[in-house]
Amino acid sequence: MLLPEDVGHKHMKKVIEDTYPNCAYEIRGPEELEVEGKFMYKFYIFIQVNISNIGRQAEDKLQYAANVLMIAQGREGDIPTRMMETYHAQLNASPEGLHIRKCQT
């Protein structure tokens, strides 16, 4: 992560924790460098990601995409009620629909 020299650790930690909630991480650095005439600090962020949920999340994302396609083809009636409820919950959770989450507990 590259940050201007006047950005503090609190800002960096907030960015990490907001982007990867519930994940353990370690910050190493900084290295001083210059980018386009501006002095920056380069930090290495090591994040422990729980991969046990990735398969389920990938399955959910594929099912969401399949539902989107079936609805676009006018086949909404072919989708079981429970699957449509899940689809609408995912759609309402984010303007872009379902995304694979980085970490979950």
Q: What is the pLDDT of residue 100?
A: 47
Percent of the chain scoring above 70 in pLDDT: 89
**Cis, bond preceding 30 (omega within 30 deg of 0):** yes
Put simply, whether the predicted model's pTM sits higher than 0.85 gets the answer no
Residue ranges per domain, the chain? Answer: 2-48, 52-93
Specify the higher pLDDT residue, 37 or 95. Answer: 37
Q: Express each pLDDT in 75-94 by its tens digit.
A: 889 888 888 998 899 888 76
Per-residue pLDDT band at 103 (split at 50, 70, 90) = low
3-state secondary structure of 43: strand
